[in-house]
């Protein structure tokens, strides 16, 4: 089905740009032709329908051709984080049952030599830049893509594994196509749009928000190697980008880096999740980019709720898609009324718009879909008008003195403090309060921890005031810019206890 969309654009937008990089621009007709030639290359290696093939590379036109080429054969693309180290990579390649790998030189030279003998024995095709990769494909006659159904598996995407081993989410063609159609709708995307992609292509965010919506409309995809705050607006101007996808920390970093308006660009939208009402207002007012805040996850077809500009309600995650159902449940799986908080649960209202299940883990698939609802592990609620609000991950919520505290709410205020470039808030164990709040700060120049607490006292309620402060050079994040909070919940000599500096050392 994905190849059906690509083929349609190769007919009606044949010469229009599909993928734009620093080196070249590739039309829809070229990307379709190259994908069908890549399918022939894979078939020559013995790959067929249902086989699992891994892609381990940075953002490039070759990455998309690899994915689409697998689709053309009916193979399943295992899109893995190419920065994972040996132990994790060995596990994922084995768990996914990978028969062949397509990998760039950086991965082959940096990661492959450290892998197990079993992993190193998997056949590997090199991606040594778009030009060389595509020149090699010229020697293979393009195949006719196999017919795909909505229920056919398309990719296996692995969760981040915050608890236990990562799980492989089996995503189907129908879910990708539905997600792209819905994203194009709320963005009011046109063939003239140019969507900038800097988040890694192995992730559901750019795959479903950008790639699939572009295939629906014939928009161009501008591929950047990674997110860079310093070059963001320069890239936007140079490539005439009209929008991008994001995770919340991307917008926060931009807002911290650029305190003055940046309006010399064509960027009219950004789409993603993880921001706040205040940050969205800052981005819209300062940069002129309308923030489409979604709620979603890999298991549920990429995203579940969102809104067009006309339907938007700032601070919310929009309304639930017409092919999904969402409930807010208490601890006994009973529904809670609008205005109350509970766990967000999702189920499809149309066939094959969510995951097919967890790869090799049927028992975990069943456990996650208790009472016919997929339990997300996220806290949220509806307002009286049916707008969904996300309040954080259950496991990331700080439980201080019996109250649930969102780390994002604290981080949002910290970024307004002069001199703060980046920050993170986490809960740390406390014998009296259950958990106390610790913040990590990247600052420009010196910043006194006690003065910081005084500044926050004016803008935060008492239960959100951090007790512990640590100054650091960087906040550890995943490649998709998510804060690695589990790595930050420690107390040692690097951490300042501001309560110890109060008169009498009290709290």
In eight-state DSSP terms, residue 23 is S
Asked if residue 427 lies in contact with residue 435, where contact means CB atoms within 8 angstroms, the answer is: yes
Above 60 in pLDDT, residue 505? no
Q: Which residues contact 490 (CB under 8 A, 6 or more apart)?
A: 428
- How high is the pLDDT of residue 402? 61
Pick from 127-136, 166-175, 248-257, 448-457: least confident: 448-457
CA distances from 48 to 176, 181, 268 (A): 21, 28, 42
Give the separation between CA 259 and CA 257, rounded to whole angstroms: 6
From 40, 127, 38, select the one nearest 30 (Cα to Cα). Answer: 38
Pick from 20-34, 347-361, 444-458: least confident: 444-458
Give the separation between CA 337 and CA 19, rounded to whole angstroms: 46
Helices (H), 369-474: 407-414, 449-457
pLDDT band at 496 (very low <50, low <70, confident <90, very high): very high
pLDDT band at 507 (very low <50, low <70, confident <90, very high): very low
- How high is the pLDDT of residue 211? 98
As a whole number, the mean pLDDT across the chain is: 92
From 469, 307, 486, 305, select the one nearest 380 (Cα to Cα). Answer: 305
Report CA 248 to chain centroid distance, whole Å: 10
Asked if residue 243 lies in contact with residue 265, where contact means CB atoms within 8 angstroms, the answer is: no
Report CA 464 to chain centroid distance, whole Å: 27
What tens digit of pLDDT does each residue of 112-149 get?
999 999 999 999 999 999 999 999 999 999 999 999 99
Higher per-residue pLDDT: 242 or 504: 242
Percentage of the chain lying above the pLDDT 90 cut = 75
What tens digit of pLDDT does each residue of 381-430 get?
999 999 999 987 777 778 786 666 778 878 888 888 888 999 999 999 88
From 20, 135, 5, select the one nearest 72 (Cα to Cα). Answer: 5
Give the separation between CA 89 and CA 94, rounded to whole angstroms: 8
Pick from 242-251, 432-441, 455-464: least confident: 455-464
pLDDT band at 162 (very low <50, low <70, confident <90, very high): very low
Give the separation between CA 292 and CA 425, rounded to whole angstroms: 24
Which backbone phi and psi does 422 adopt, to 5 degrees?
A: -160, 160
Q: What angle do CA 456, 457, 463 make, to 5 degrees?
A: 100
Asked if residue 252 lies in contact with residue 411, where contact means CB atoms within 8 angstroms, the answer is: yes
Pick from 1-15, 199-213, 230-244, 449-463: least confident: 449-463
Pick from 31-45, 157-171, 235-249, 477-491: least confident: 157-171
Pick from 25-29, 170-174, 458-462: least confident: 458-462
Q: Which residues contact 1 (CB under 8 A, 6 or more apart)?
A: 148, 149, 150, 152, 173, 174, 176, 177
Percentage of the chain lying above the pLDDT 70 cut = 97
- How high is the pLDDT of residue 409? 79
- 426: part of which helix (H) or strand (E)? strand 420-430
Q: Would you call 227 exposed, middle or buried from its count of C-beta atoms within 10 A (0-12, 13-18, 19+)?
A: buried
Is domain 398-505 classified as CATH 1.20.1250.20? no
- How high is the pLDDT of residue 461? 74
Instruction: Report, as an integer, the average pLDDT of 432-456.
Output: 84
- Which residues pair with residue 435 across a beta bridge? 429
**N-term to C-term CA, the chain:** 60
Please tell me the total number of residues recorded for the chain in this structure: 507
Helices (H), 317-462: 362-368, 407-414, 449-457
From 421, 418, 422, 500, select the one nearest 467 (Cα to Cα). Answer: 500
Q: Which residues contact 487 (CB under 8 A, 6 or more apart)?
A: 476
Above 70 in pLDDT, residue 436? yes
Count the Cβ atoms, other than its own, within 10 Å of residue 131.
Answer: 12
What dihedral angle (degrees, nearest 10) is formed by the CA atoms of 156, 157, 160, 165? 0
Above 60 in pLDDT, residue 338? yes
What tens digit of pLDDT does each residue of 275-295 get?
888 889 999 999 999 999 999
Domain with CATH 3.40.50.980 in the chain: 27-148
Extended strands (E) in 24-151: 25-27, 52-56, 76-79, 100-104, 124-127
Above 80 in pLDDT, residue 160? no
- How high is the pLDDT of residue 432? 75
Show the tokens assigned to 25. 């621009």
Helices (H), 263-340: 277-287
pLDDT band at 240 (very low <50, low <70, confident <90, very high): very high
Above 60 in pLDDT, residue 161? no
Give the separation between CA 54 and CA 123, rounded to whole angstroms: 11
Domain with CATH 3.30.300.30 in the chain: 398-505
Q: Which residues contact 102 (CB under 8 A, 6 or more apart)?
A: 53, 54, 55, 56, 57, 66, 124, 125, 127
What tens digit of pLDDT does each residue of 261-278 get?
999 999 999 999 988 888
What tens digit of pLDDT does each residue of 53-110 get?
999 999 999 999 999 999 999 999 999 999 888 888 999 999 999 999 999 999 999 9
- How high is the pLDDT of residue 460? 78
Show the tokens assigned to 469. 């402060």
* Beta sheet of 468-471, edge-to-edge order: 420-430, 434-443, 468-471, 496-497
In eight-state DSSP terms, residue 210 is I
Pick from 20-34, 354-368, 370-384, 389-403: least confident: 389-403
Decide which of 3.40.630.10, 3.40.50.261, 2.130.10.10, 3.40.50.980 is the CATH code for 27-148: 3.40.50.980
- How high is the pLDDT of residue 271? 97
């Amino acid at each position: 089905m994905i190849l059906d969309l690509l083929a349609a654009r190769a007919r009606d937008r044949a010469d229009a740009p599909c993928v734009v990089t620093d080196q070249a621009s590739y039309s829809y007709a070229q990307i379709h032709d190259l994908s069908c030639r890549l399918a022939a290359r894979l078939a020559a290696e013995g790959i067929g329908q249902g086989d699992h093939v891994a892609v381990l590379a940075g953002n490039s036109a070759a990455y998309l051709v690899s994915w689409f080429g697998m689709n053309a054969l009916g193979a399943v693309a295992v899109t893995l984080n190419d920065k994972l180290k040996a132990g994790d990579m060995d596990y994922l390649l084995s768990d996914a049952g990978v028969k062949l790998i397509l990998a760039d030189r950086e991965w082959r030279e940096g990661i492959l030599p450290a892998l197990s003998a079993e992993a190193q024995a998997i056949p590997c095709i090199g991606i040594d830049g778009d030009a060389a990769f595509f020149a090699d494909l010229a020697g293979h006659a393009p195949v006719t893509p196999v017919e795909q159904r909505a229920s056919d598996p398309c990719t296996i995407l692995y969760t981040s594994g915050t608890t236990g081993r990562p799980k492989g989410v089996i995503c189907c063609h129908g879910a990708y196509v539905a997600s792209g159609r819905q994203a194009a709708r709320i963005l009011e995307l046109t063939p003239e749009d140019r969507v900038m992609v800097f988040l890694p292509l192995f992730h559901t965010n750019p795959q479903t928000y950008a790639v699939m919506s572009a295939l629906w409309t014939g928009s161009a995809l501008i591929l950047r190697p990674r997110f860079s705050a310093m070059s963001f607006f320069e890239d936007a101007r140079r490539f005439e980008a009209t929008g991008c996808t994001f995770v919340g920390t991307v917008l926060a970093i931009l807002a911290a880096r650029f305190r003055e308006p940046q309006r010399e660009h064509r960027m009219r939208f950004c789409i993603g999740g993880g921001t706040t009402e205040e940050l969205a207002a800052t981005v819209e007012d300062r940069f002129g980019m309308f923030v489409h805040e979604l709620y979603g996850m890999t298991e549920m077809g990429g995203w579940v709720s969102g809104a067009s500009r006309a339907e938007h309600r700032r601070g919310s995650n929009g309304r639930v898609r017409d092919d999904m159902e969402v409930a807010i449940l208490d601890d006994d799986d009973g529904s809670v009324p609008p205005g109350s908080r509970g766990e967000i649960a999702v189920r499809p209202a149309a066939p094959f718009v969510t995951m097919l299940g967890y790869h090799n883990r049927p028992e975990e698939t069943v456990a996650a879909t208790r009472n016919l609802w997929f339990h997300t592990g996220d806290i949220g609620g509806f307002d009286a008008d049916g707008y969904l609000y996300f309040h954080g991950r259950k496991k990331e919520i700080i439980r201080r003195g019996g109250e649930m505290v969102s780390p994002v709410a604290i981080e949002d205020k910290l970024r307004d403090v002069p001199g703060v470039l980046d920050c993170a808030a986490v809960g740390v164990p406390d014998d009296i309060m259950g958990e106390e709040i610790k913040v990590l700060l990247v600052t420009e120049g010196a910043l006194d921890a006690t003065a910081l607490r005084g500044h926050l006292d004016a803008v935060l309620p008492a239960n959100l005031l951090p007790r512990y402060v640590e100054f650091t050079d960087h906040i550890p994040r995943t490649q998709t810019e998510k804060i690695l909070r589990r790595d930050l919940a420690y107390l040692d000599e690097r951490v300042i206890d501001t309560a110890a500096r109060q008169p009498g050392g009290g709290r």
